[in-house]
Amino acid sequence: MYEGAIQDLIDELGRLPGVGPKSAQRIAFHILSADPTDVKRLAVALQRVKEQVRFCTTCFNVAEAEQCRICRDPRRHDDVLCVVEEPKDVVAVERTGEFRGRYHVLGGAINPLEGIGPDHLKIRELMARLADGSVKELILATDPNTEGEATATYLALLVKPMGLAVTRLASGLPVGGDLEYADEITLGRAFEGRRAI
């Protein structure tokens, strides 16, 4: 146990996800020996993130204004909406450079084991966005795991009566991998989703 400020810093860092007591101690001593301007910059960044960052009122992505950068962008297509679980999924899709539509962040996936049902997600808000009829295609880009797939199934059933095209991201083989190393489920999905060339 250390005294005073250093122990407080170790305790606070130790509360962060994925940071154990040893890592917390290492980071604390790194901060102690770091340049004061670097530390100040970190402190300001921490403060700013809590004070300025909020959720976009339209898509629930992280934003520094009432609407996020993507919702404000007039060049984005209004007729295609991509549904993702978390704001970090928006970043992952944006990195592809393939999608020019808009997003809707659910804030998670339906997971009864964790007590997360449809009412805990931004599904009601999604339905409200779809109600005006401007969206022609809904892309369900939830995670390719049991919870994500079940959430996509739930949403597909919910929006089916609205008559818009509902698509799901393809599952299959990672680029650069060898076929022999693919597990049977991924390979099976790749076969199901094969396309003519």
Partner 1 sequence: MAQAGTVTRSPAGPVGAGWHNRRVNGWRAKLYRDDAVVLRGQKLGESDRIITLFTRRHGRIRAVAKGVRRTTSKFGARLEPFGHVDVQVAEGRSLHSVSQVEAIDLYGKRFIDDYPRYTTASAIAETAERLTPIEEEPALRLFLLTLGALRVLAEGLHTSSLVLDSYLLRAMALAGWAPALEECAVCGTEGQHRAFSVPAGGCVCQDCRPPGAAHPSPATLQLMAALATGDWPVADSSEAGPRREAAGLVAAHLQWHLERGLRSLPLVDRSSPKTSPTRGADENQRSTDGDLA
Contacts with partner 1 by CB under 8 A lie at 18, 110-115, 117, 145-146, 149-150, 153-154, 157, 174, 177, 181, 183-186
| Residue (132 or 184) nearer to partner 1, CB | 184
| Residue (2 or 181) nearer to partner 1, CB | 181
| Residue (136 or 189) nearer to partner 1, CB | 189
Residue 168, beta-bridge partner list: 140
Instruction: State the minimum distance, in angstroms, from the CB of residue 149 to partner 1.
Output: 4
Instruction: State the minimum distance, in angstroms, from the CB of residue 11 to partner 1.
Output: 20
| Residue (67 or 186) nearer to partner 1, CB | 186
